Amino acid sequence: MPTYSFICRKCGRKFQEILTFREYESGKRKCPKCGSRSVAQLLEGFYAKTSKKS
């Protein structure tokens, strides 16, 4: 399952959640610190790790 990064617009806390695609699309998430539902997704880079040498 993918890991998504969010930031709370109320208190500024950054947090991550592991969500299924269905859970992600439901939009029902809240800040673990203050409980606010005013959160925005952070767009972060990723890298793939493989066993092959480049």
In the numeric block, the tokens 């399952």 are attached to 1
Beta bridge partners of 40: 7
Alpha helices for 1-54 (secondary structure H): 21-26
**Rounded Cα gap, residues 41 and 24, in angstroms:** 10
Q: Give residue limits of the domains in the chain.
A: 3-42
pLDDT digits (tens, 9 = 90+) for 4-42: 999 999 999 999 999 999 999 998 899 999 999 999 999
User: Can you give the pLDDT at residue 50?
Assistant: 77
Q: What is the pTM of this model?
A: 0.74
**Rounded Cα gap, residues 13 and 33, in angstroms:** 7
**Rounded Cα gap, residues 4 and 6, in angstroms:** 7
Where does 3-42 sit in CATH, by number?
2.20.28
